[in-house]
């Protein structure tokens, strides 16, 4: 079994992969002239990148080795307007399971500081799964008239995510 720091390094790769997948989804919607969907996923990509950098900063602060892993190429072809959001929801659920496993690993190693660090990520994942599930419902319901999806995002896109405001520091600062 990997150590908690090794698991965090692996999670850095998962977060960067999620970021790249969201860029690929955003590009798909951008190419279809769906600016609200594209902007939503470009923002998601930045969030995932920042999550990776938060983990990097934690590892640096804990005086642990940082290894930035390579990632597989994201999926870039999609059958319809629904498939990218379905993929995004599956990805969020997978990341939630990964973060839960890391929290359990930290607990099993008696690393209370590491476990506490992950509490913010657990909250964030709960919110991400919920909001992506809602978006999938809207996209499935509105797939025959994609402008309804754009309207939904225009109404629902608000200010800064409250959870992001209390996030751990990210390596490189607010880049």
pLDDT at 82 over 60: yes
pLDDT at 154 over 70: yes
4-70+79-160 CATH choice from 1.20.1260.10, 3.40.50.850, 1.10.1270.20, 2.40.10.10: 1.20.1260.10
Contact yes or no for 163/123 (Cβ under 8 A) = yes
Asked which of 55-59, 119-123, 145-149, 168-172 is least confident by mean pLDDT, the reply is: 168-172
CA diameter of the chain = 52
For the stretch 121-136, pLDDT in tens is 999 999 999 999 999 9
In angstroms, the Cα distances linking 44 to 3, 18, 92 are 29, 9, 11
For the stretch 5-62, pLDDT in tens is 999 999 999 999 999 999 999 999 999 999 999 999 999 999 999 999 999 999 999 9
Contact yes or no for 37/153 (Cβ under 8 A) = yes
The pTM of this model reads 0.90
In angstroms, the Cα distances linking 73 to 13, 22, 94, 98, 149 are 12, 12, 17, 20, 27
Phi and psi, residue 166, nearest 5°: -100, 20
Percentage of residues of the chain with pLDDT beyond 70? 93
Residue 169, pLDDT score: 82
Residue 175, pLDDT score: 52
């Amino acid at each position: 079994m990997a150590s908690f720091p090794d698991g965090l390094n692996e999670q850095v790769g998962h977060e960067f992969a999620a970021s790249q997948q969201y860029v690929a989804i955003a590009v798909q919607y951008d190419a279809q002239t769906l600016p609200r969907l594209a902007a939503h996923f470009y923002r998601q990509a930045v969030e995932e990148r920042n999550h990776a950098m938060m983990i990097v900063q934690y590892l640096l602060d804990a005086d642990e080795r940082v290894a930035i892993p390579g990632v597989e190429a994201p999926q870039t072809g999609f059958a319809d307007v629904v498939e990218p959001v379905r993929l995004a929801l599956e990805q969020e659920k997978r990341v939630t399971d990964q973060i839960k496993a890391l929290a359990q690993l930290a607990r099993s190693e008696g690393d209370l500081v590491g476990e506490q660090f992950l509490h913010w990520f657990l909250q964030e994942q709960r919110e991400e799964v919920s909001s992506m599930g809602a978006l999938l419902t809207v996209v499935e319901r509105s797939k025959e008239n994609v402008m309804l999806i754009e309207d939904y995002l225009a109404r629902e896109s608000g200010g800064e995510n409250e959870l992001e405001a209390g996030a751990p520091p990210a390596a490189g600062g607010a880049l």
